[in-house]
Amino acid sequence: MPGFGDMLSALRRRDGLSQKELAQKAGVSRSAIGMYETGEREPSFETLQLFADIFHVRADTLLGAPDRDEALASNALPAAVPVKKVPLLGTIACGTPILAQENIADYVDLPGHVRADFALVCRGSSMINAGINDGDIVYIRRSEAVDNGQIAAVLVEGAETEATLKRVYTADGKITLTAENPAFAPLVFVGSEAARVRVIGLAVAYTHMLS
């Protein structure tokens, strides 16, 4: 039952790379590659996309999702990946806990080894340069804070709203939400306006939805 580490190892071997060579391509240490392959370390969203770019596969392929268009070694076919169900959030009622029943639109399957608490459907094209397209499902691990530059699900408080997915930057009392598409201007919140912004979780994975 392959997970991220199994898939990473299979793709590395498919391309004839040693752990040291892959580490050099990815800009990480050889020991980090070893820990990813043994499951001692989980990849961040950005790291997952980095490896997907290196191997020319989709990020969800690295998580074990089957892909008809991408050929892997026969011992790496993700035929029986264990899954769990997580809530898919819709419109979020103001003031309710994130996972309150009225906020949950459905439940979706998630590979069992991915640590996430809920999912969102990405709407629009604001995150396309991060590989996230309209209709993709993004998996979120609950957290009230993220590092600068990480992709997070964020609520801008109002009567009721949907969570937005953006890169988050905080500095000197200012919060900036940045899209991954130059057509969208950053959203900047300063002073009292910053109090309206609430990080609800870190993006850890996504899956493309086939039309």
Residue type, 122: C
Judging by beta carbons within 10 Å of its beta carbon (0-12, 13-18, 19+), is residue 191 exposed, middle or buried? exposed
Spell out the residues 6+ positions from residue 165 whose beta carbon is closer than 8 angstroms to its own.
Answer: 120, 122, 126, 127, 132, 138, 151, 152, 153, 154, 203
The catalytic residue among 9, 29, 74, 166 is: 166
The catalytic residue among 126, 143, 174, 211 is: 126
Name the nearest CA neighbour of 40 among 78, 4, 11, 2.
4
User: Catalytic annotation on 126?
Assistant: yes
Q: In whole angstroms, give the CA distance from residue 132 to residue 118.
A: 17
- Give exposure, 158-180, as e/b (b: 16+ Cβ within 10 Å): eeeeebbbbbbbbeeeebbbbbb
User: Catalytic annotation on 29?
Assistant: no
Active site residues: 126, 166
